[in-house]
Structure 1
Amino acid sequence: MENKSKPKYKLILDAAVDVIAENGYHHSQVSKIAKKAGVADGTIYLYFKNKEDILVSLFEEKMGQFVSRIRNEIDQLDRADEKLYKLIEMHFSQLAEDPSLAIVTQLELRQSNKTLRLKINDVLKGYLALMDAILTEGMEDGTFYSQLNVQLVRQVLFGTLDEVVTNWVMKDQRYELVDQAEDVHYLIYNGLRDHG
């Protein structure tokens, strides 16, 4: 496989997002992705083994950028509740800015086979670790209840964000996704804080 920093690699991944969002993963032939990217069919195989490899690579690349942006923003903040809000807001804003990517992550990645799901879960680990770090920090500094089950709370947090975005995608993005951030933060934060 050729170097991931080559311009055609990114071009193919961006084309794949649009083609998969428009046609669904199963109806997205490599030739359609190549045409959208403006490259020959064979060029794709210089960068990717097959269509599944494109989907996993796309998720790795986009999720890597997604987590990196969120991490950079929350590193500027001091309090765990502010970091939690920033994570929620950015989760929504980044997907709202790229509706095709939202369709791929919320719908197309869910229909995949077990091997693909395991690879995707691997990619998610960095994001889930970031959530764990915010929760742990909040427990340690007294922002959140000190006896939280971090793993369970992280599942609730991720599941909530995921469902809010899925609902937005299913409703054809008819409302502002980012407008949900404040209510979601209020709900999660009030469930996490120490009421003692």
Structure 2
Amino acid sequence: MKKDKPKYKLIIDAAVVVIAENGYHHAQVSKIAKQAGVADGTIYLYFKNKEDILISLFEEKMGQFVQKIRNKMSGTDDAVDQLKVLVESHFQMLADDHHLAIVTQLELRQSNKDIRMRINKVLKEYLVLIDDVLQRGVDSGSLSEDLDIRLARQMVFGTIDEVATSWVISDQKYSITELSPGVHRLLVKGLCK
């Protein structure tokens, strides 16, 4: 499978850097190839076009991210604690890779409708994870029993996403990870009885 090959991962990582530094529309495949240290033609052994690279990098990074969060959450059944893991992990992932932060928070949103639709499909796994945490909290009684899961998911994701976008737009001049406790506290106050 192509995704298991080292050059695939090199190209994905190179694409994150090139897209972050040049913007999606100015990120040429030749620049991605140069950053990855591969020939231009090698890119097309793994990807159909630049759009396919963008979608693939989001699939790859988001898939890894969701799996990491699930692994970290496996240590507790408490929804409030799991929500804390979710917020901390989301902010830490962006803090650890400022290029990825720019791509996910800015560049993906400027893409065409078809790309945004494909990205929404990838994002669904993350949203299901949030739904699972919220439902667990309702079932255990740690979150309000009349909680509208769909609306609460939008609130949780929207809050995390807006804080992250503001941080990226400000050129990451402050620590996003230091905001985790406050964001978690605000979310929990809004979700609990």
Q: TM-score range by the shorter chain?
A: over 0.9
User: Given the two structures, how large is their TM-score scaled by the length of structure 1?
Assistant: 0.97
Larger displacement relative to structure 2 (55-64 or 73-82): 73-82
1:100-125 CA-to-partner distances (Å, cap 9, x unmatched) read 00000000000011110110000011
Q: Which residue of 2 aligns with 1:134?
A: 133
> Which structure 2 residues correspond to residues 115-194 of structure 1 after superposition, within 5 A?
115-194=114-193
Q: Which amino acid aligns with 1:101?
A: L
Q: Which residue of 1 aligns with 2:101?
A: 102
Q: Which residue of 1 aligns with 2:75?
A: 76
1:87 matched to 2:76? The reply is no
Q: Which residue of 1 aligns with 2:45?
A: 46
Q: Once the 2 structures are TM-superposed, how far is the Cα of residue 78 of structure 1 from its aligned partner?
A: 2.3
1:63-91 CA-to-partner distances (Å, cap 9, x unmatched) read 00010000100111121100001100000
Q: Which residue of 2 aligns with 1:55?
A: 54
Aligned equivalents of 1:106 and 1:78: distance in 2?
30
Q: Which amino acid aligns with 2:181?
A: E
Q: Which residue of 1 aligns with 2:20?
A: 21
Q: Once the 2 structures are TM-superposed, how far is the Cα of residue 185 of structure 1 from its aligned partner?
A: 0.7
Unaligned runs of 5+ in 1: none
After TM superposition, the runs of 4+ consecutive aligned structure 1 residues lying more than 3 A away are none
Q: Once the 2 structures are TM-superposed, how far is the Cα of residue 143 of structure 1 from its aligned partner?
A: 0.3
Q: Once the 2 structures are TM-superposed, how far is the Cα of residue 188 of structure 1 from its aligned partner?
A: 0.6
Q: Which amino acid aligns with 2:119?
A: I
Q: Which amino acid aligns with 1:9?
A: Y
1:188 is paired with a residue of what secondary structure?
helix
1:154 is paired with a residue of what secondary structure?
helix
Q: Which amino acid aligns with 1:182?
A: P
Q: Which amino acid aligns with 1:70?
A: I
1:4 is paired with a residue of what secondary structure?
helix
Aligned equivalents of 2:140 and 2:109: distance in 1?
37
Unaligned runs of 5+ in 2: none
Aligned equivalents of 2:46 and 2:176: distance in 1?
34
Q: Once the 2 structures are TM-superposed, how far is the Cα of residue 4 of structure 1 from its aligned partner?
A: 1.0
1:4-34 CA-to-partner distances (Å, cap 9, x unmatched) read 1000000000000000000000000000000
Aligned equivalents of 1:163 and 1:140: distance in 2?
28
Q: Once the 2 structures are TM-superposed, how far is the Cα of residue 145 of structure 1 from its aligned partner?
A: 0.4
1:157-191 CA-to-partner distances (Å, cap 9, x unmatched) read 10110010111111111111111111111111011
User: Given the two structures, how large is their TM-score scaled by the length of structure 2?
Assistant: 0.99
The number of aligned residues is 193
Q: Once the 2 structures are TM-superposed, how far is the Cα of residue 56 of structure 1 from its aligned partner?
A: 0.1
